[in-house]
């Protein structure tokens, strides 16, 4: 079984709808992240959480919200979807290894979202 899972894997929705993307991990990591990837661009950080009570905005958080329900679960919500939120969304996890800067992030398979 995959260590980091994302549901759904594909989603089509309409402008104005609220949707939630879910991420679960069995790696036991404290840290979780949400990224989006647009064609021709690298990944950009939306939100990140270093533990259940610590949630922080990334570089492109407008239009998104998150919930860290447990150590293993981190959900991303689009409150009112718009077409330019069409993208590939990734969840990632990392563990504080004790070596600063060496917190390798492990990614889920991604969710392809299309907003019509």
Q: Report, in Å, the least distance between residue 100 CB and another protein.
A: 4
Q: How far apart are CA 52 and CA 23, in angstroms?
A: 14
Q: How far apart are CA 75 and CA 25, in angstroms?
A: 12
If phi > 0 it is left, if psi is from -120 to 50 it is alpha, else beta; for residue 26 that is alpha
Q: What is the CA radius of gyration of the chain?
A: 14
CB-based contact 47:114 (threshold 8 Å): no
Q: Which stretch binds another protein (CB under 8 A): 19-27, 64-72, 73-81, 102-110?
A: 102-110
Q: Which stretch binds another protein (CB under 8 A): 13-21, 40-48, 62-70, 76-84?
A: 40-48
Candidates 3, 5, 11, 44: give the one binding another protein (CB under 8 A).
44
DSSP three-state, residue 26: coil
Give the contact letters, 52-91, x = binds to another protein (CB under 8 A), - = no: ----x-x-----------------------------x-x-
3 binds another protein (CB under 8 A): no
Site residues, another protein (CB under 8 A): 31, 33, 40-45, 48, 50, 56, 58, 88, 90, 92, 94, 96, 99-110, 112
């Amino acid at each position: 079984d995959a260590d980091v899972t994302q549901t759904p894997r594909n989603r089509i929705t309409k402008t104005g709808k609220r949707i939630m993307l879910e991420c679960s991990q069995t790696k036991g990591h404290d840290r979780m992240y949400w990224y989006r990837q647009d064609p021709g661009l690298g990944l950009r950080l939306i939100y990140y959480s270093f533990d259940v009570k610590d949630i922080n905005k990334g570089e492109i958080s407008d239009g998104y919200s998150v919930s860290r329900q447990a150590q293993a679960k981190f959900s991303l919500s689009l409150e009112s979807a718009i077409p330019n939120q069409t993208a590939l969304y990734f969840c990632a996890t990392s563990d504080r290894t004790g070596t600063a800067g060496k917190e390798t992030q492990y990614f889920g398979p991604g969710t392809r979202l299309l907003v019509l």
